[in-house]
Structure 1
Amino acid sequence: MKGLPFLLITALLLVTSSCNHKEVKEELKIDDSVKQLIFFTDNKQYEQEISYYDAIIELKRSYPELIKDMKVITAAEASHLSNYKVENCPAILLVYQDKVLVEIKGTVSKDKIINPLAKAMDEKNENP
Structure 2
Amino acid sequence: MKYSFLIILMLGNITFLSSCSLQNDRTAAGLNIEKAILFYSDENNIQEEDSYYEALIELKRLYPSQFENYKIIAKKEELDSTFISLNDTYPALLVIEDNKIVCKIIGKAEKEDIMQPVSNAMDQWN
Structure-1-length-normalised TM-score: 0.66
Map 1:52-71 onto structure 2 (within 5 A).
Answer: 52-71=52-71
Contact 1:73 1:80 in 2 (8 A): no
124 and 91 in structure 1: CA distance in 2 versus 1, 3 angstrom threshold: closer
* 2:101 alignment partner in structure 1: 100
Where do 5+ consecutive residues of structure 1 fail to align? Answer: 1-28
* 1:111 alignment partner in structure 2: 112
Amino acid at match of 2:119: A
**Other structure's SS at 1:88 match:** coil
Where do 5+ consecutive residues of structure 2 fail to align? Answer: 1-29
Taking CA–CA contacts closer than 8 Å with sequence separation of 6 or more, which of the two structures ends up with the larger relative contact order? 2
**Root-mean-square deviation over aligned CA pairs:** 2.2
- In terms of Rg, which structure is larger? 1
* 2:9 alignment partner in structure 1: none
Amino acid at match of 2:54: D
**Other structure's SS at 1:45 match:** helix
* 1:6 alignment partner in structure 2: none
* 1:51 alignment partner in structure 2: 51
Take 2:77 and 2:62, find their aligned partners in 1: how far apart are those partners? 29
124 and 65 in structure 1: CA distance in 2 versus 1, 3 angstrom threshold: closer
- Pairing 1:88–2:89 present: yes
Contact 2:36 2:70 in 1 (8 A): yes
What is the identity percentage for the equivalent residue pairs of Structure 1 and Structure 2?
A: 34
Give the aligned length.
95
- Quote the offset at 1:80 in angstroms: 4.9
Take 1:76 and 1:119, find their aligned partners in 2: how far apart are those partners? 30
Map 1:20-35 onto structure 2 (within 5 A).
Answer: 32-33=33-34, 35=35
63 and 111 in structure 1: CA distance in 2 versus 1, 3 angstrom threshold: same
Superposition misfits of 4+ residues, deviation over 6 angstroms? none
Structure-2-length-normalised TM-score: 0.67
